[in-house]
A and B are shown apart, each in its own frame.
Chain A
Amino acid sequence: MNELLAASGTDVAGTGRTVLTWLLLALVGVGAIPVVAGLAQFLVIPLHAVRNHYRETGPYLPNVAVVIPAWNEAAVLTTSIERLMGLDYPPDRLRIYVVDDASTDDTPAVLARCAARFPGRVVHLRRDKGGEGKAHTLNHGLREILADDWMEALLIMDADVIYEPASLRKMTRHLADPTVGAVTAYIREGSGDPQGITRFIGFDYLAAQAASRRAQNVAGAMACLAGGAQLHTRENLLAIGGQIDTSSLAEDTVTTFRTQLAGRRVVFEPHARVLAEEPAGIDALWKQRLRWARGNVQITSMYRHLFFRRSVHPGLGGIFFGIFWFAILLLPVAMLLTSVGLTGLYLLDSELAAEVFGAAVFVPIATFVFMITLTISVDPRTGFRVWREALLFPGAISFVVLLAAAFPGVVPLSGAAETFWTLFVYSWLVLCIPLAYGVRKLEGTRWGRPLAPLALYLVGFGPMMCAITVDAYVKEFRGAAMTWDKTEKTGRVTV
């Protein structure tokens, strides 16, 4: 570093080299922001032990209308309705409205049987024209439900999710505080015997829902109400227009933002547990997450005036929320910048590159450790079940790279092997993204299908999420059609 400073200003070539070196250092620095933001987020989570909403709750049990959008959900509806009817909640204060989006399977017959079993408590609303997406289906139900004064709180859920018995009343207690507009629950992957990708999703949900939403509770700004578990007060629904946004692929996030911008709080209740069925294949997961990622790109554009402006909203416009939001959205860009920066530095000055890498590498290692331990601590039972996927979340290759970076010299390398290994480590951050795309393609081939799970463990679930984000950028840039790819549900969820 001293040589770098000494060399500056000697001649044009030297100046150019110095400028380039500083530029590359800046790329590495900017690229590290999401990692630092991730560490900050996990450091905030323990504060939830003291900074939470429990002291403002009360024994509040309003009339709850549950709305379930359903398109060809015959396989899972009966179980879901039976579970809802078995909720530990006053029976006369709970009604279920299933909005049948012109299903072509046995959904109407299943609903007719349920309505007969639970007279007056299960209502079948059918749309004649379907296939427009979840938001349109929900709006059909909302119009009917809001027309009646009975509903005091509305629970929006998916047909496949199963609520644990105490979960609804644990959500409604937060509505005792009139400043709260909506409450969301802890959704976790609910397969009885998770395998391969569902184990990764199990850990992903643990980190993204149970852990991250606690940090958002502490920060006082919620990014998104879980689509399968969002409880709104009637006042809040009316304040946001009584309808769900249909202009984007992220209607849940728009609802969440609108609620907070209308002056109401959104609270995450970690002890209200909801089990959901998640995709069992890479391609199905890709389609689901691509919809979410594209939705986030659209939201960023829709609310571009909001970020980093506390005058618009103290929580959503706060620095913590802004960094948290863009750290996820721009993670692939950050990985590219870091990789370009480190590789460029290596080509320019290999010793400086090693110095920078050696000094900075402990930050991602610490972030990784904090992510795993704090995530597992929020739900140890689920966490210990998927500990291998937690360790291999960035991929087995990335795990080895991290270990090698943490303990340099354990495997002595020299000459061409050392050069090759160093360049591989510096470029892996960005190489893993196209490889993750390749894993999806591999699953689509007859010969590659059995190898895809192994490839996923090697490349990692995290890089796959980054690849999906890149795909979302591309699809949004090209203005690709916003199709609603419904995740196939088979009723695998068990309590």
Chain B
Amino acid sequence: MSLLEVSGLGISFGGLRAVEDVSFSVSPGEIVSVIGPNGAGKTTLFNMISGIYRPGRGSVRLNGQDVTATAPHLLARMGLSRTFQNLQIFQEMTVLDNVLAGYHLTERGPVWADLLALPSMRRRAAEVRRGARDLLARVRLDKAAEQEAGSLSYGALKRLEIARALALGPKILLLDEPAAGCNAVETEEIDHLIAELAASGIAILLVEHDMKLVMRISSHIVVLDHGQKIAEGDPATVSRNPAVIAAYLGTDAPTEDPAHADG
């Protein structure tokens, strides 16, 4: 059974139909990519699924439960986590504290225990701290743990967002352009990381402009153009689809990559 089921999802902004009647599903361990030209509605779609925008039409089901327009913090409790295209980092906190914030649901307790620093909180805090450092090591940021997050490079912040999203132990992870602004080596690392996460049973929904990355790791691709789904299928099928080639890949597709690589 699929973990995430999006059916007939749509939203309009002041009469403009930003996303219209989009349906697809994601199963555990699967990597589903959403691609399409700039302004196709990919991020808007993400914002509806993750509860930031309230969809005008259609429904989102998570684990069989209707979660359409559920608040983001409640979706997090149900195992949905995400990263952002335009970084949303807690800039003035340390790198470690950013990841620790991701453990909020695990480590939160009664407020008086926090105010009085009760010893009962300390053991859990130590466990969570170990987990956070492991996650940082996984995205190769362990050496920067005590630095202020705002001092990190763009690529490092992208990885930090992934670590923070993983901290809540998600069942499904929405990644919005995780490789944007990363060099070739970093992109390959993210590629491996995503494959690893999927192999561990996490469902991945990915928006990415790096076509090589998308074609290499996706099990299923959904193509959007002008807010509508124009094609879907496995990478080979999608890349041969004439509608997709016309709308997105075009004839001069190879020049797209360098343009976005320095994003």
Do A and B share a complex?
no
